[in-house]
Amino acid sequence: MSLLTVRAAAGRMGIGYSTLKQWIYQGKIRTTQTAGGHHRLSEAEIDRLLAKQTPSVPARSRRAGRPRGLIVVLSGRNQLRGFVEEARTDGLLGQVRLRIGDQTLTAVITSDALRELKLKRGDDALAIIKSTEVMIAREVAEPVRPARRVARASKSKRS
């Protein structure tokens, strides 16, 4: 029978080290102590705890229980309509590039959200911008600067 350290057992159980230590101090978990006073957990005890935590009937995921429907009104006022120029995923993140008139807007979202939206090139989409900071700028024509005058050589050098 192998014994695991508290940290290794917590990692195997998917809980925090401090949580497991509290359970030990509260007497919820049986441990063996080393000569130095360190706690060790047997694999049988870990299996017992995992069996206790695992429900016998698989629970429905949060996503499955969420109502689905059409969004009729949204509070965000900064809405830009365009079409999807590119939609790609890489690991946990996805990138969507929208063409809005002659401008391009790029958004980085989770790959789960991108799959849920089912966006592909050419689809119509809406970018809703909610930000705590918005900067506004105005371009103006560059002012015309007078040409620099080249210093003329002094008369004494001409002769």
pLDDT tens track for 79-118: 888 889 999 999 999 999 998 888 899 999 999 999 989 8
Decide: pTM greater than 0.95.
Answer: no
- The pLDDT assigned to 55 comes to 53
Is 78-129 assigned to CATH 3.30.1330.60?
no
Res. 62 pLDDT band, cuts 50 70 90: very low
Q: Where are the domains positioned within the chain?
A: 3-52, 78-129
Gap between the terminal Cα atoms of the chain: 107
Nearby residues of 139 by Cβ (< 8 Å), 6 or more positions away: none
Domains 3-52 and 78-129 share a fold: no
Q: What percent of the chain has pLDDT over 90?
A: 16
Token readout for 49 is 């705890």
The DSSP secondary-structure symbol of 91 reads: T
The CATH code that applies to domain 3-52 is 1.10.1660.10
The 3-state DSSP class for residue 43 equals: helix
Strand order from edge to edge, sheet including 124-129: 103-110, 93-100, 78-90, 124-129
Give alpha helix (H) positions in 89-140: 111-117
Q: Read off the pLDDT of residues 1-18 as tens digits, 9 standing for 90 and up.
A: 688 899 988 888 778 888
Would you say 110 and 96 are in contact if contact means Cβ atoms under 8 Å apart? Answer: no
Across 44-62, average pLDDT? 63
